[in-house]
Amino acid sequence: MNTPKKIHNSGFTLIELMIVVAIIGILAAIAIPSYQDYTIRAKVISAINVANSIKTAVADTYQSNGAFSVNSINVKLPVTTAMATIDVQNTTGVITIKYDGSAAPSQIKDMTLTLTPNVKGAVLPSTTVAPMEWACASTTSTTANAAGLVSSPGTLLAKYAPWQAPSFLDS
């Protein structure tokens, strides 16, 4: 006599697959916006890195002359990259990074970030020749103010600005 063999189901059920897809969807909904913000912050920092040479020129000019004039630095201004235009105010040495390049993400298009030189907590022109500190400011300048630095506010949203710009603290 033939007895029917038991067939064991070793695959996934439809409900199990739907649960896995739902979990992946939830993780993607959280991860994608965070990743987009991360890539924008990376592009913001890339323009700040380009501004390092200008920051050094401003500090050297100020330390040599005891005053600052944009005409006395050895950098052709404004500096234009695919991401931003970087310029310096004539007497104060404030570096403005305007994210207006073709590679600038639409979320930060035409926004600015400012880097303000400070000497002993005062903006240029200061009569004291001392080490220069830099205040980095977006729409807020909370970190700079907490460090006792004066800053000119920019228009870049704070969530895209670096929370601290360590390369700009001392020169």
Q: Confirm if 137 and 113 have CB atoms less than 8 A apart.
A: yes
- Does 28 map to a domain? yes
- Does 3 map to a domain? no
State the residue range of the domain holding 111: 14-168
pLDDT band at 171 (very low <50, low <70, confident <90, very high): very low
- Does 5 map to a domain? no
Question: Rounded CA gap, 30 and 35, in Å?
Answer: 9
pTM of the model: 0.77
Domains in the chain, number: 1
- Does 7 map to a domain? no
- Does 8 map to a domain? no
Residue 43 pLDDT greater than 70, yes or no: yes
Residue 107 pLDDT greater than 50, yes or no: yes
Burial 121-138 (b: 16+ CB within 10 A, else e): eebbebeeeeebbbbbbb
pLDDT of residue 25: 97
Q: Measuring CA to CA, how many Å separate 96 from each of 11, 25, 26?
A: 60, 40, 39
> Tens digits of per-residue pLDDT, 113-159?
999 888 877 777 666 667 788 888 888 877 777 777 877 888 999 88
What CATH number is associated with residue 55?
Answer: 3.30.700.10
- Does 129 map to a domain? yes
* Three-class SS state of 34: helix
- Does 6 map to a domain? no
57-75 mean pLDDT:
78
- Does 151 map to a domain? yes
33-58 mean pLDDT:
90
